[in-house]
Amino acid sequence: MNVKFWKRRPSSDEQPQHHTDAAPQQSTFNHRKHQKLVWREARLCVTVPQKAVEALHISTKRFFEWQPGKKELVGTLKMSETALTTRVELLSHKEQYLAIIPPLYSQQYDEESGKDEKATAIFEWDDTSLQLRVSLKKAVKGKKKKR
């Protein structure tokens, strides 16, 4: 059975949508920056891009709320502290702000080497919000049980 669907015509107050063959964007953020993960004082952290600091007035009174996924850890900039947040910290001698990765997730990165060349985080932001995505190298949960 063939079923045809008719396209609804936009009314005068609606804007027509332009369709392209391009892949859909995964993000609605205007800006994107890759930053390296680094170890400071036995904590894994990443420097917040200066343009994001200026656009969003980031200070040490801000927090990142963390949501773990299957392949990445997502941090969203928040105004208040909860059990799932880490505070934005100031690296005073450089006037740079740092996002601290929660210890549970930083264990999978090698502290001994000092830095992992491929360990990066992606910052995405616009005028009102900022998101930080950190790739998870391996499963954080315990090993699978043998049968």
Model confidence pLDDT, tens digit, residues 72-125: 999 999 999 998 999 999 988 788 999 999 998 888 776 655 555 568 899 999
Per-residue confidence (pLDDT) for residue 107, from 0 to 100? 82
How many separate domains does the chain show? 1
Ranges of H-type helices in the chain: 50-56, 103-106
Is 2 inside a domain boundary? no
Whole-number Cα distances in Å, 13 to 9, 10, 16, 104: 11, 8, 10, 51
Domain span holding position 97: 31-135
With respect to residue 22, please indicate whether it lies within any of the assigned structural domains.
no
Lowest mean pLDDT of 64-68, 134-138, 142-146, name the range.
142-146
Give dist(CA 124, CA 110) in Å, integer.
25
59 pLDDT more than 80 = yes
For the chain, give the percent of residues with pLDDT over 70: 69
Predicted confidence band of residue 136 (pLDDT cuts 50, 70, 90): confident
> What is the overall mean pLDDT for the chain?
78
